[in-house]
Every structure is written in C-alpha cells, then in structure tokens.
Amino acid sequence: MHCALKFCSYWKNKTRQPYRFFCLFFLFGITGCSGLEPVAAWERGYLAEDAMQWQSSTREAKFKGHVYTSKEASSGGNGAAGGGCGCN
Amino acid sequence: MLKLTTHPVKTFGAFLLGVVFAVGAHSGPTTKQDAILAPAFSLPAIANAEGVISLASYKGAVTYLDFWASWCGPCRLSLPALDEIYQELAPMGLKVTAISVDVVEEDAWDFLARYPVTYPVAIDTEGSVAKAYAVNGMPSGYLIDREGRVRTVHVGFKRGDEDALRAEILQLLEE
Amino acid sequence: MAVISNGQNSVQSASTIKQSPLVRTLGAAVAALPAYQSTYADAPPEFTEVGLRYSHYSEDSLSEDKFIAGARGRYDIDVTQLWIEAPVGSSWSIAVDVQNDSMSGASPWFVGTQVDGQPGVIMSGASIYDNRVEVGATTRYFWADGNAGFNVTHSKEDDYEALALAFDVAWNSDDNSRTWSASASTSNDTVEPVTGNIPVFIDREDIDTASVYFGVSQILSRTAILRIGLGYTISEGYLSDPYKLFDERPDKHKRTALSGGYRKFFPEAQGALQIDYRYYADDWGTDSHTAEVAWHQNFDRFSVTPYLRYYSQREADFFSVIADLENEFYADDFRLSSYGALTAGLRSTVQIGDWQFEGQLERYESDNDWGLYDGDAAPALVDFWRATIGISWRFD
C-alpha cells in the first residue's frame, strides 16, 4: 500500500487525477505493493477448505450456469462462455 | 537480482531462488561447500516415536525432513511414497521425520489413520520450525547430509518425484 | 513449544526465530517457490474421481389468470451428469463429462390480450419432448506455478447442435498469494427447428460465439480470499427464438460481465461466508445485478450450505409485453423483460472415506415488482424447483 502511494505521488504535479487513480490501481493489481501480509505456505489450511473454493463443485457450477443462462437474459462471470443449447 | 557471495546463508537463499527457475518442483543437489546447516529443532512426536523429536538426535545420519499438512492434496501421495523409500533405505541408515504443520493435532491423526506411515511424525502447530526452514509449499522436503547440511529442497509433489528423491538419498548415503 | 537454532549457534527460544539470519535472508528469496494453494493451481488431481449426479428441474404451471390457451404445464427437465477425472502421468489430467437432459412440457408461444384487457400467454399446444446429450473432454497441464486446460464440448438435441472449444490458463504470482487467470472460447451452434404443434419459419440457421475472460484472485489473509473478473462475449447469427411466434432479434449480441467474489473462513465457527456478485450489460439494452450469499458450515464428516441469490435485470430495448410488430426488432419473451428473482437453497455434502454424497434443493421465484428497474410485467415469468442428488468416488 505504502509503496504504491509513494510511487504514485511522484505523478502528483504532472498528471491529472484519473491517471493517478489508474496508477494506483495498476500498482495494486500488477505489482506486489498491495500492503498485504503474505500468507505462508504452512498457514494455508483454512484457504484449502472446501468452503473457501470459488465453486462448490465443477458440475454444480456447470448445471447452475446452464439453468440461469437459459432462463435469464444475463450470462458470464465465471470464465469464458461455452456452447449454447436450444433451451426454451 | 540477488548478489552471489560466498556467505553460506546468502548462498542458501540464492540456491533456493535457483529452484524457482528449475523445471518441476525440486532442485538438484547442491555441492557440499554450498550447502548450509539445517536449523536445529525439537518438536513433540505424534506417531512412531515417543516424547520429543530433535534434529540433534539424527547427528551423523542422512536425514529427510518432510513438512506436510492434512489439508494438503499432494501430501496424500508424498507421505506414502516417502514411506516406501524409508522402508527400503532405513537399513542403510536413512532417517526420516515428517513434520505436520496442522493447527489442530487431531486433523494430523485423522490423516495418518488414512495414510499410515512407519517413520516418526512430529507436529509444529505454531509453524515456527516451518518458518525457520522457510517452507514455501506443501509438502516441502529437506534432504540433510551426514554433516547436517541441507543438500536438496523438494517443494510440492507429483507422481514420479519419488524416483528422483530416492536417487538423491542413495547418493548421500554413499558419500 | 518448538525450540529452534540456526544450527551453528546454541539453542534459542522460539521468540527469537524472527532474528535468525537464515530466515531474514530467505524471506525475500524463497518467496517464489510454488506453494500449495486453495486454487490447486499447481498440482494435478491426486486420484481418479468418478461421479454421477441426477437433478430434477420443474417449472410451476402457468397460473390461470395469465393463461389464454394451449397447455398450462411448463417444463420439467431430468438432468443426468456423469464424469471421470483422472491424473495422467505426473503433470497432466483428463476429464470426460457426459450430460443428458430430458425435457418435456409446454413453453410460451406468444402473449396476447385476455377478455379483461390484461395480457395473457398462449402456450404451445401439447407437451414438447426433447432430449439433449452433451459430451465434453478436458485435458489440463500443470507446471510448478500454473496450469492450462483445453476443452472440447459437443451438444446435440433434435433441433440444436453446438460445438465449443475453450482454452484457459491460470498462473500464480511469485509469492503465491495471487492467481491470474484467462480464458477464451468459441462456439459454433446450428439451429434446425422441428415443426411440432407450433409452426416454425426457419429451416436451418447458425450462431457463432466468441468469448474471453480475465480474472485475478488474491489471498488477503489466512482466512480470506478475493477475486475479480471481466468477461466479454460476442454472438453473431440467428439469435431469435424460433419457437416464439413474434420474436425478431438483432443478429449480433455483445455482452460484458464484471464479477467479484469473496470467501471468509471463521475458524471458531468452522464455517465460511461466501459472497459473489456480478454486473452484466449487453448491447440489447439489458443490464443486471446478481448477488449471492452463502454460509458453508462444516461438521465432522459433512457440510451444510444455505444460500440466497438475488437477481434483477432491465428489459431489452425491443421487449414489450405484447410484441410490437411495427418495430424492426421485437420480442415478448419474459426472459427479456424487467424483473427481480430470488433463489433460496440448501446444499449438503457427506464424506465417507473415498465416497462423497451430495444433495441440493432450491426454489426460484421471479416477479416484476421485485426488480430494480422500470418496465412492464411479462405474464410468463417463471418459478421453479430444483433438486439434485449426487455420488462420487475417488480411487487410486
């Protein structure tokens, strides 16, 4: 955090506000300057829990995506789209 | 980049950094003069040993330290694979200790009930020994020679890794 | 508990570990080794898994006050999913998925006006029956700090055929606390409507779809992880619904989805809070918000996860309750109308040795009044129940 702020403050006088925001966003996203304490390899037990996964199961995610995509106007948000179906 | 010096501690860092660029998840053996001394430790035993397990008791023996956790997927392969190597090479003097980094000891017991092993298992609930060894993946194995120097670090485990590990251990046993 | 020394000096207490020269030097240098992560990005599955899932999906019949003619019973679908996923060699995995959908029921044909002046639905006459078979194969390669997968999926039913190819890649940052992911896919679909009890006016049409996605997930702490993703999809071809009497849509559809997710584990409670959000917008004038909240509770050998999902969309530019044939594009499809929808569900898994059992039940209801956006109510909005049971087995 500190690292990104310091770097981006260099732009202060030269650059307009939106660019500075972009600079911060870019640094948070791309560099390691996020200010987060790294979680050591042996401390990742909770992160490995089933409860912490993005999908409860691959097949459930597929099924759910299929149902909602065919009954609602929206799609996406979970990787690239697959093939369609003639679902009415 | 990292400056290479002859200082043993820095060299260990450089050696580990080199692992990053190695294909696969383990490094090749370092030469004797490059290797640094393994940090000593004493931890409570939870299987196949009584009381406390300390590195000092393995003085003069080729030793493999394996950091693992019940929640680590590849450990379901590495612990049994290591047990096969242990059963084969223990008569030649190989010492093996698996160090669980589980926060809850019962989780480690459950795992060992499903994947039983014959070598001593210790537990490091605070992760302080893992920290001293700069463990950076699960599992992480440290192969230590008769002089107590870390000669190889294995991070992660895939099917087939046991063959390379067995060869490295044999090499150290013959030194 | 632990007693450490750096090997060269005498034994030190655990509190002095931070000062160990080994650790200080290693701190920066070792950070780049592959770590075991919750994302499993760097290791193939340890064991082979085979699984079978059966789901029943059942839409409520159209209510009497919104119905004009045809059959009131709407879709019932039986879905069977069968899969096998196995490690191949030391760095590859392969998965084969087979899915069968058996559909029966009637669907809305068009919207007209009832004697009281309210809009009502004319349903397709008798029950339609269709069967869809989907077969997909995925190969995945794993290296020290990432993996890449390639998928081919073929889907075939009486009147629709699709062939999709997808490529995805995920890689971990040097300190293994961040995972980048990207994917791209294309699909070639063919519509060949069959004339049953309602007339169709096309013979054979194509749809081409291309899609890209970019996402990043970041470990925030020992118990929290966050992700964001951006996806873009473009379809070209025959995008109207051939089984609706009044349905004329543009032949291009560009869609953008911005999504985010958060997981927080509570060790004392042995459970995790799961929050997901998606914003969607397309060039047909539709945009939507989707929010999902779940609590995953661990017990000794099983888990229970109650969840809620809220969804609200804005109607497409060319939607009207009763299709306006004066316009270039028109549709009375309820799926293009403004509404809000709520899903409530419960999911449970039981782990016994190498076997896992799962069960899930959910209820979906939609209503124009629950929406965040203005727009008239489509009479054919759907409500449904869904139940799933599944079993999977892992072996060496």
- Give the HSE-up count for residue C204: Cα atoms under 13 Å, Cβ half-sphere: 3
How does residue A19 score in pLDDT terms, banded at 50, 70 and 90? low
- The lowest-confidence range among A71-80, C8-17, C45-54 is C8-17
- Using CA coordinates, name the residue in chain A closest to C264: A52
Q: Give the model confidence (pLDDT) of B139-157 as tens digits.
A: 999 999 999 999 999 988 9
Q: What is the pLDDT of residue C196?
A: 73
Q: What is the pLDDT of residue B82?
A: 97
How does residue C18 score in pLDDT terms, banded at 50, 70 and 90? very low
Does the beta-carbon distance from A79 to C181 stay under 8 Å?
Answer: yes
Does the beta-carbon distance from A48 to B71 stay under 8 Å?
Answer: yes
How does residue A26 score in pLDDT terms, banded at 50, 70 and 90? low
pLDDT over threshold 70, residue B30: no
Q: What is the pLDDT of residue B81?
A: 97
Q: What is the pLDDT of residue B6?
A: 36
Does the beta-carbon distance from B135 to A45 stay under 8 Å?
Answer: no
Q: What is the pLDDT of residue C158?
A: 87
pLDDT over threshold 90, residue C16: no
Contacts of A46 in chain C (CB under 8 A): 222-223, 265, 267
Residue predicted with more confidence, B23 or C191? C191
**Two structure tokens written together for B101:** 């980094």
pLDDT over threshold 90, residue C35: no
Q: What is the pLDDT of residue C199?
A: 81
d(CA C200, CA A86): 14
Q: What is the pLDDT of residue B12?
A: 41
What's the angle, vertex CA B173, arms to CA B172 and CA B175, rounded to 5?
65
Check if B110 contacts A (Cβ < 8 Å). no
Strands B36-37 and B149-155 come out as: antiparallel
What region does C152 belong to: left with phi over 0, alpha with psi -120 to 50, or beta? beta
How does the average pLDDT of chain B come out, rounded? 84
**CATH superfamily assigned to domain C49-395:** monomeric porin ompg (2.40.160.40)
Q: What is the pLDDT of residue C1?
A: 39
Strands C302-313 and C287-298 come out as: antiparallel
Q: How many CB pairs under 8 A join A and C?
A: 210
Check if B131 contacts A (Cβ < 8 Å). yes
Say if domain B8-174 classifies as CATH 3.40.30.10: yes
pLDDT over threshold 60, residue B16: no
Q: Where are the domains of chain C?
A: 1-30, 49-395
> C395 to chain B, minimum CA–CA distance in Å?
12
pLDDT over threshold 60, residue C40: no
Q: What is the pLDDT of residue A29?
A: 54
Query: Residue C269: phi, psi to the nearest 5?
Result: -85, -15
Does the beta-carbon distance from B135 to A41 stay under 8 Å?
Answer: yes
Range from A65-69, B3-7, B136-140, C248-252 that averages highest in pLDDT: C248-252
- The lowest-confidence range among C16-30, C158-172, C304-318 is C16-30
> A47 to chain B, minimum CA–CA distance in Å?
9
Contacts of C298 in chain A (CB under 8 A): 49-51
How does the average pLDDT of chain A come out, rounded? 72
Residue B2, number of CB atoms within 10 A of its CB: 14
Check if C43 contacts B (Cβ < 8 Å). yes
Q: What is the pLDDT of residue B33?
A: 62
Mean pLDDT of C286-307: 97
pLDDT over threshold 90, residue C383: yes
Q: What is the pLDDT of residue C194?
A: 82
Q: List helix spans (H) across C222-355.
A: none
Among C306, C308, C328, C305, CA closest to C317: C328
pLDDT over threshold 60, residue A13: no
Q: Where are the domains of chain B?
A: 8-174
Strands B95-100 and B121-123 come out as: parallel
How does residue C20 score in pLDDT terms, banded at 50, 70 and 90? very low
Q: Give the model confidence (pLDDT) of C343-380 as tens digits.
A: 999 999 999 999 999 999 999 999 999 999 999 999 99
pLDDT over threshold 90, residue C29: no
How does residue A38 score in pLDDT terms, banded at 50, 70 and 90? confident
Contacts of C369 (CB under 8 A, 6+ apart): C340, C377
With beta carbons less than 8 A apart as the criterion, state whether B75 and B138 touch.
yes
- The lowest-confidence range among C3-7, C204-208, C210-214 is C3-7
- Give the pTM: 0.84
- Give the HSE-up count for residue C220: Cα atoms under 13 Å, Cβ half-sphere: 11
How does the average pLDDT of chain C come out, rounded? 88
Q: What is the pLDDT of residue C129?
A: 85
d(CA A42, CA B69): 8
d(CA C89, CA B60): 37
Does the beta-carbon distance from B69 to A40 stay under 8 Å?
Answer: no
Q: List helix spans (H) across A1-80.
A: 2-9, 17-30, 58-71
Percent with pLDDT over 90 in chain C: 78
Contacts of A42 in chain B (CB under 8 A): 67, 69, 101, 124, 127, 130-131, 135, 138
- The lowest-confidence range among A6-20, B28-42, B108-122 is A6-20
Contacts of B70 in chain A (CB under 8 A): 45
